[in-house]
């Protein structure tokens, strides 16, 4: 990846706004400060202030909160094209921690970079507002689903959402995607035990819907899986640019 | 309210950005299309597309999702200074419904209005990104709290968050605030029955912490209430402007 023109963020924002040459150039400048981070070490700690935001260009990151009782609640995963810590920068104190799941590459973005980019192209500001709104829609969907979906539907919904997000940045399709998450990540995301995660994955496989094995998710029956999960991807808004 | 200079949205955004005269003028223009809506009738239906966004200037609104089993999950309440349906406009399909709880006044905002405003002042785009990020931080806080807090702590946390939000727009203080919500609103927000809501409110009153009666919340012991709820308002970021 040598140009923002082909960066995952560019691919993602293109779902909302048909980017002009000038807008692509501004996006490219946002990718200038390249950084690498190794797996397993927090980039940002809960409660930390004055950190930077990042645009993730390669790898996966988990964002989580540590509870008072020491357990970990994973709030979400970031995939290429996602912002890391944008909310933390704007709100000054990070309400959660970030940990790379694999070695990652990211571009550091300062608030002043964002202001400069918005001054040059207000459509970019609207596009980033769209991306943040989409993130919020996902959290709302998780909030409403948490008490309503059983373990099987919760896992199915999670895998389908992840597949849709990855497809938008060219890293997956309705047939499947590579996935570095362990059973422990899935457990702390879905509020299940690791043993329960394994049982649920076995049930989904035995129903002929989906197999998650050796770092790859293979979807055997997309329609069946979507029906089980009551998955309606409208909230992910991936139907093509609103702003031409 | 005749000028955006004193509008609740202006007061709220001032917590993030010290607004210039030029920025105040742009905000004022966003308030031009004034609308009124009566209590009890949905402004926007779940699944509806092509609706407008609104800036709420007076009154309270609930945003909710109807579940497949017919029950209502209230996602959040909007108070003066909040956007209504900004996410729905950007994502094209509303993932929830809006219902005014009392008669309300709001200004209609089109995507083109926002683009024009951002072109004139990029700091306003950043301020609105801040407001949306703050909304997302609240939903994340609810998501993480939902399985962790018991009914008493959940109610206490909800009332404290609401009080902080209202204080930011000059409609409340640590001592209390007017509140038009019924026990049914509280029940559908906190996942409790109306009977359980009454019992929880009685317990909080008997502990000498807070009284909710006749449309008014009176906080008797702010520190005690905050301790019970483990309420840390950092995620609401109300400590004064980041952008001078």
Q: Find the mean pLDDT for residues A89-99.
A: 79
| A85 has pLDDT over 50 | yes
Burial of A43 (C-beta count, 10 Å sphere; 0-12/13-18/19+): buried
Per the CB < 8 A criterion, the answer to whether B163 and B212 are in contact is: no
Q: How far is CA B142 from the centre of its chain?
A: 13
Give yes or no for B73 touching A (CB within 8 A): yes
The band of B240, judged by pLDDT with boundaries at 50, 70 and 90, is: low
A95–B234 CB contact, under 8 Å? yes
- Domains of chain B plus CATH, in order, are 4-134 (2.60.120.10), 149-236 (1.10.10.10)
Mean pLDDT of chain A, nearest integer: 88
| A1 has pLDDT over 80 | no
A93–B237 CB contact, under 8 Å? yes
* pLDDT tens per residue, range A122-163: 888 888 888 888 888 888 888 877 767 889 999 999 999 999
Which residue in the block uniquely carries the two structure tokens 């990652």?
Answer: A104
pLDDT value at position A4?
45
| A3 has pLDDT over 70 | no
ipTM of the complex: 0.81
The band of B99, judged by pLDDT with boundaries at 50, 70 and 90, is: very high
Which residue in the block uniquely carries the two structure tokens 């309420």?
Answer: B231
Hey, which residues does B105 pair with through a beta bridge? B36, B58
The band of A243, judged by pLDDT with boundaries at 50, 70 and 90, is: low
The band of B119, judged by pLDDT with boundaries at 50, 70 and 90, is: confident
Give yes or no for B146 touching A (CB within 8 A): yes
What is d(CA B198, CA B205) in angstroms, rounded to the nearest whole number?
Answer: 11
Mean pLDDT of chain B, nearest integer: 88
Per the CB < 8 A criterion, the answer to whether A108 and A33 are in contact is: yes
> What 3-state DSSP class applies to A178?
strand
Nearest to A146 among B114, B137, B143 (CB): B143
Which residue in the block uniquely carries the two structure tokens 């909304």?
Answer: B135
Residues 7-36, chain A: which have Cβ within 8 Å of B?
16
B93–A237 CB contact, under 8 Å? yes
Per the CB < 8 A criterion, the answer to whether B99 and B44 are in contact is: no
Interface test with B, best of A20, A53, A67, A91 (most B CBs within 10 A): A91
Q: Find the mean pLDDT for residues B1-20.
A: 76
């Amino acid at each position: 990846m040598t140009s923002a023109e082909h960066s995952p963020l560019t691919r993602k924002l293109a779902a909302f706004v048909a980017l002009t040459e000038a807008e692509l150039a501004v996006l490219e400048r946002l990718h200038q400060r390249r950084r690498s981070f190794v797996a397993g070490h927090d980039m940002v700690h809960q409660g930390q202030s004055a950190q930077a935001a990042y645009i993730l260009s390669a790898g996966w990151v988990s964002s989580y909160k540590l509870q008072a009782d020491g357990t970990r609640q994973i709030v979400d995963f970031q995939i290429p094209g996602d912002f890391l810590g944008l909310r933390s920068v704007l709100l000054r104190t990070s309400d959660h921690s970030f940990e790379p799941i694999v070695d990652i590459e990211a571009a550091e973005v300062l608030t002043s970079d964002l202001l400069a980019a918005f001054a040059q192209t207000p459509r970019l500001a609207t596009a980033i507002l769209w991306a943040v709104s989409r993130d919020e829609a996902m959290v709302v969907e998780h909030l409403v689903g948490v008490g309503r979906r059983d373990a099987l539907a919760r896992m199915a919904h999670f895998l389908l959402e992840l597949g849709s997000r990855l497809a938008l940045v060219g890293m997956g399709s309705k047939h499947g995607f590579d996935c570095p998450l362990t059973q422990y990540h899935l457990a702390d995301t879905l509020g299940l035990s690791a043993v329960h995660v394994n049982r649920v994955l076995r049930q989904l496989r035995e129903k002929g819907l989906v197999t998650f094995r050796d770092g790859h998710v293979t979807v055997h029956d997309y329609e069946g899986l979507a029906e089980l999960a009551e998955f309606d991807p409208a909230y992910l808004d991936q139907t093509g640019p609103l702003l031409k």
